[in-house]
Amino acid sequence: MSDIAVVTGANSGIGRATALHLAAQGYVVYGTVRSLDRAGKLNSWAAERGVEVQLVELDVADDASVAAAFAHILSEAGRVDVLVNNAGVGGNAVAEECPPSMYLDVFNVNVCGAIRCAQAVLPGMRERRSGAIVNITSVAGRIAALAQSPYVASKWAFEGVSEGMAQELAPFGIRVVIIEPGVTKSAIFAKNIDAPNQTGAYDAAYRRLFQFYAAGLANATDPFEVAQLIHHAVTTDAPQLHYAVSWGAQELIDAKAAISDPDWVSLGAIADDDAYYEAFHQRLGLELRLD
């Protein structure tokens, strides 16, 4: 009998690649999307690959939507063996300029949305004493990405929730996997272009944020590489809790663990952009200059 997988945010990027890859590996895959009308590319790619992804409308930010979607999935499939919590949103703002409502909105999707979905499948997984929860966090859950305060806060929180879940669910034989992507080819980056800059005091921070993503997009990793890693993580006999993947992820995680607090703080105080990019390269191991 084929395993049942649910992939949230399956309409693009990592979610779409994961849904298609798991289907190609023989899983029965339910891909959740906020609107069936916007899933044309997913459907066409599935047809090209000769696989099927069952589409279910679901808004992870809404209790009733999550409950209805998983009631449908469980009534049809009977169980969920793998849940991939991929649905998420970005959020650009420095702390001074970010209204609390924006933090709450980003948290509601990136943290509470994943918790809603996990709560829908965990009773059955506990009863069967098997299953896997894959939480897609971000390298921004390990290092504070500049001028993305709400996004960073949500991903750091999601890391903490995930590490706690790993211990909470271990007695029931349920595997928890944390995937920490760097820059991966995804529509989220094309949408994530807002920069409040209400005071004008943080021009450099926003400019350097977009420079980071310009460099990342020039080297962005194919999302199918992430999908392959997710499949490995849920099937390997020697699982890890954390998996860094995609451009910049491992370099930034390793460098942040080694950098001193004074060096971290002084990086932000550098006034000249070119000097900042050089220091970023020296301290964190990534070249942000495109020339």
Q: 291 pLDDT exceeds 90?
A: no
Q: Which H or E run includes 274?
A: helix 273-284
**Residues tagged active-site:** 151
Residue linked to tokens 């995609």: 246
**Within-domain flag for 278:** no
| Residues 89, 262: Cα–Cα separation, whole Å | 31
Give pLDDT tens digits for 19-52: 999 999 999 999 999 999 989 999 999 999 999 9
Question: Strands 82-85 and 53-57, how do they pair?
Answer: unpaired
Residue 254 CA, chain-centre distance (Å), reads 19
**Within-domain flag for 13:** yes
| Residues 99, 53: Cα–Cα separation, whole Å | 38
CATH number at residue 116: 3.40.50.720
Q: 148 pLDDT exceeds 80?
A: yes
**Within-domain flag for 105:** yes
pLDDT at 1: 77
Average pLDDT of the residues in 165-188: 94
The chain-wide mean pLDDT, for the chain, equals 95
Which residues, in sequence order, are CB contacts of 266 under 8 Å at separation 6+? none
Give pLDDT tens digits for 188-247: 655 556 677 778 999 999 999 999 999 999 999 999 999 999 999 999 999 999 999 999
pLDDT at 187: 65
| Residues 252, 247: Cα–Cα separation, whole Å | 10
**Within-domain flag for 280:** no
| Residues 117, 138: Cα–Cα separation, whole Å | 19
**Within-domain flag for 20:** yes
**Within-domain flag for 33:** yes
pTM metric for this prediction: 0.96
Q: Residue 146 — pLDDT band, cuts 50, 70, 90? A: very high
**Within-domain flag for 271:** no
pLDDT at 53: 98
pLDDT at 82: 99
Q: Residue 186 — pLDDT band, cuts 50, 70, 90? A: confident
**Within-domain flag for 267:** no
Give pLDDT tens digits for 126-142: 999 999 999 999 999 99
Mark out the alpha helices in 170-260 (DSSP H runs): 187-191, 203-218, 223-235, 249-258
Report whether 163 contacts 241 (CB < 8 A): yes
Which of 125, 107, 111, 120 is CA-nearest to residue 161?
111
| Number of domains, the chain | 1
pLDDT at 168: 98
Q: Tell me how crowded residue 163 is: count the other CB atoms within 10 A of its CB.
A: 15
The whole domain housing 177 covers: 4-203+220-256
